[in-house]
Structure 1
Amino acid sequence: MPTPPPLSIAPEKVFFVIAKARQFDAKDVVTDPDPGSNASDDGMRAVLEDHADDPVRLELSRFIRGLNVDEQIDLVALAWMGRGDGDLDSWDELRGEAARAHNNRTASYLLGMPLLAGHLEDAMATCGFDEEDFET
């Protein structure tokens, strides 16, 4: 089992982001921005579209913004590691680069990253963390 890097963010928080990012990634582009009809008449299709006021996006964005700076830095470094930009041996370099790049747009940056859930999941597996160990 690999020795995980010293994380400032609790694994439970990362797995929460993964779960929410999966819901967010499942969204489709908006096909009719102003349908002018009743959602129940449309079969509730709009809930599967990525609207700016999407509750999953808002919840995930608020959660990430609510993390402290060190937690946000770790989250970005984990996403980069899962994306293949580094591995456990280069954790310190990855985290250092994430710290240098940190700004107030971390949530927007991460939500704009294609396959965020998969990248974080891969990174957590690389670190030896299994989501099942943290489910309640």
Structure 2
Amino acid sequence: MEPATPIEMLCRIVLRAREYEAQTGTDYDGGEAPENVDGEDGEALSVLDDSINGAVEEELTAAFEDLADDQLAEVLAFCWVGAGTYDVSEWDEALEEAGVQTNIPAELMDMPMLASVLESGMAAFELSCDGIGDLA
């Protein structure tokens, strides 16, 4: 299969999605540590801090904006195949359904594990980012 979206662009999306999904742990206590059951100060809460991902989010959004409508639909269809929503044999149906979706970039940005499902969908068609740019 030869995708309508250049493989380099698909791999750029995978790379940026990985960065976007990456979170760093931080200790945050909201100004004060919670109390233990016995009334003593507890440990600071360990939470995920995603504030560092603003630039990566912008890059990922820009990558989606660089795609034509049919390419965005293709990316979404790859994700659906990767997530198991559609099988490889149902590619035409997945692509058709993706083509009628509105606001695909927002749907992709909200998709859990975007990088993984996109890569899995690509792999189902024997497409890989091996040897491409930073993913080599």
TM-score, with normalisation over the residues of structure 1?
A: 0.75
Give the deviation of 1:108 after TM superposition.
1.7
- Aligned ranges for residues 100-119 of structure 1 at < 5 Å? 100-101=100-101, 103=102, 105-119=103-117
Q: Which residue identity does 2:22 align to in structure 1? A: A
Distance change >3 Å, CA 121–CA 88, structure 1 → 2? same
1:133 to partner: Cα distance: 3.8
**Equivalent residue letter for 1:119:** V
3-state SS of 1:107 partner: helix
- Structure 2 counterpart of 1:129: 127
Map of 1:5-84 to 2, 5 A cutoff?
Answer: 6-27=2-23, 49-51=49-51, 54-84=54-84
What residue identity is the alignment partner of 1:109? Answer: E
SS in 1 for 2:96: helix
Name whichever structure is richer in strand by fraction: 2
State percent identity of aligned pairs.
26
**Pairs aligned (count):** 117
Distance in 1, matches of 2:71 and 2:105, equals: 12
Q: Deviations over 1:93-124 (max 9, x none)?
A: 000000111x2x22221111001000011111
Q: Return 5+ residue gaps in structure 1 as ranges.
A: 36-47
Aligned-residue CA RMSD in angstroms? 2.6
Provide the rounded CA distance (Å) in 2 between the counterparts of 1:106 and 1:24: 17
Moved more, 70-79 or 105-114: 105-114
Q: 5+ residue gaps in structure 2?
A: 32-47
Find the counterpart in structure 1 of residue 45 from structure 2: none
Amino acid at match of 2:123: A
> Which of 1 and 2 has higher RCO (CA within 8 Å, sep 6+)?
1
Contact 1:12/1:134 (CA < 8 Å) preserved in 2?
Answer: yes
Q: Following TM superposition, by how much is the alpha carbon of 1:74 offset from its aligned partner in structure 2, in angstroms?
A: 0.3
TM-score of the two chains, using structure 2 as the length reference: 0.75
